[in-house]
Chains A and B, each alone.
Chain A
Amino acid sequence: MTIHDLTRTPPSLLRRARRAFLIVSVAVPIAITAAATAVLLSWLPSLPDPVVIHWGLDGADGFGPAMTYLWLLLLIGLGLPALSAVVTLASVGAHWGGAARLMGALAAGMSAFAAVLALGSLAIQRGLADAAETPGVGGVAAGSFGAMLLVSAAAWAVQPRVRPEPGRTLEPRHAVHVADGERVVWLGTTTMPRPALFAVIALFLALAALAAFMLGTGVEGGWVVLLSLVLIALGMSTATAFRVRITPEGFEARSLVGWPRTVIPIADIASARAVDISPFGEFGGWGWRVAVDGRTGIVMRRGAAIEVSRRGRRPFIVTIDGAQEAAALLQAYAARAAAEPNAQNTEGTAP
Chain B
Amino acid sequence: MLIRVDADTSRPLYDQVAASIRIDILAGELAPGDRLPPAREVAGALEINQHTVLHAYQRLRDEGLVDLRRGRGAVVAASAAPLAELAHDIDELVRRAAALGVSADTLAGIVRSHRDARPAPSAPVHTEEVSP
Residues of A bordering B, CB below 8 Å:
176, 178-179, 181-189, 243, 245, 247, 322, 325, 329
Contact B45 A245 (CB under 8 A): yes
Contact indicator A184/B4 (Cβ below 8 Å): yes
A254 to B41, CA, bound (A): 12
| B111: interface (CB < 8 Å) | no
Question: Which of B2, B7, B8 interacts with A186 by CB under 8 Å?
Answer: B2
User: Number of residue pairs across A and B with beta carbons under 8 Å?
Assistant: 46
- Chain A residues whose C-beta falls within 8 Å of the C-beta of B47 in the assembled complex: 183
Task: Identify which of A176, A182, A185 gathers the most chain B CB atoms within 10 Å of its CB.
Answer: A185
B29 within 8 A of A: yes
Known: A188-B1, A325-B2, A325-B29. A183 touches B37 (CB 8 A): no
B41 surroundings in chain A (CB, below 8 A): 187, 243, 245
Interface pairs (18), CB distance under 8 Å: A176-B2, A181-B6, A182-B4, A183-B5, A183-B7, A183-B46, A184-B2, A184-B4, A185-B2, A185-B3, A185-B4, A185-B42, A185-B45, A185-B46, A186-B3, A187-B45, A243-B37, A245-B41
Apart from A183-B5, A185-B42, list 17 A-B contacts with CB within 8 A.
Answer: A179-B6, A181-B7, A181-B8, A182-B4, A182-B5, A183-B7, A184-B2, A184-B3, A185-B3, A186-B1, A186-B3, A187-B3, A187-B41, A189-B35, A243-B41, A245-B45, A322-B1
- Interface of B: prevailing SS: mixed
A180 to chain B, nearest CB (A): 8
Cβ of A185: which chain B residues have Cβ within 8 Å of it?
2-4, 42, 45-46
By a CB distance below 8 angstroms, the chain A residues around B5 are 182-183
> CA–CA, A1 to B69, complex, Å?
36
Q: List residues of chain A with CB within 8 A of the CB of B4.
A: 178, 182-185
Provide the residues of chain A in CB contact with B45, threshold 8 Å: 185, 187, 245, 247
Q: Which residues of B contact A179 (CB under 8 A)?
A: 6
How far in angstroms is the closest Cβ of chain B from A49?
A: 59
Instruction: Name the interface residues of B1-17: CB closer than 8 Å to any CB of A.
Output: 1-8
Residue ID in chain A nearest B36 by CB atoms: A187
* Closest beta carbon of chain A to B91's beta carbon, Å: 12
Nearest chain-B residue to A246 (Cβ)?
Answer: B45
- A152 CB → nearest B CB, Å: 43
- A22 CA to B85 CA in the complex, in Å? 48
Which residue of the partner chain B has the closest CB to A326? Answer: B2
Closest Cβ of chain A to B5, distance in Å, is 5
Given that A189-B35, A245-B45 are known contacts, is A183 also in contact with B6, CB under 8 Å in the complex?
A: yes
- The chain B residue with its CB closest to the CB of A185 is B45
How many Å from the CB of B44 to the closest CB on chain A?
A: 8
Q: Nearest 4 pairs between A and B by C-beta?
A: A185-B45, A184-B4, A181-B8, A182-B6
CB distance from B120 to the nearest CB of A (A): 40
**Of all chain B residues, which has the CB nearest A328?**
B2
Interface residues of B in 33-57 (CB under 8 A from A): 35, 37, 41-42, 45-47
Contacts of A189 in B (CB 8 A): 35, 37
A135 to B46, CA, bound (A): 70
Which of A178, A187, A325: most chain B CB closer than 10 A?
A: A187
Shortest Cβ gap from A186 to chain B (Å): 5
Q: B48: nearest residue on chain A (CB-CB)?
A: A183
Nearest neighbor of A321 in chain B, beta-carbon distance: B29
Q: Which partner residue on chain A sits nearest B45 by CB separation?
A: A185
- Distance, CA A243 to CA B35, complexed state (A): 12
| Contact (Cβ within 8 A) A329 B2 | yes
Set of chain A residues within 8 Å of B35, measured between Cβ atoms: 189
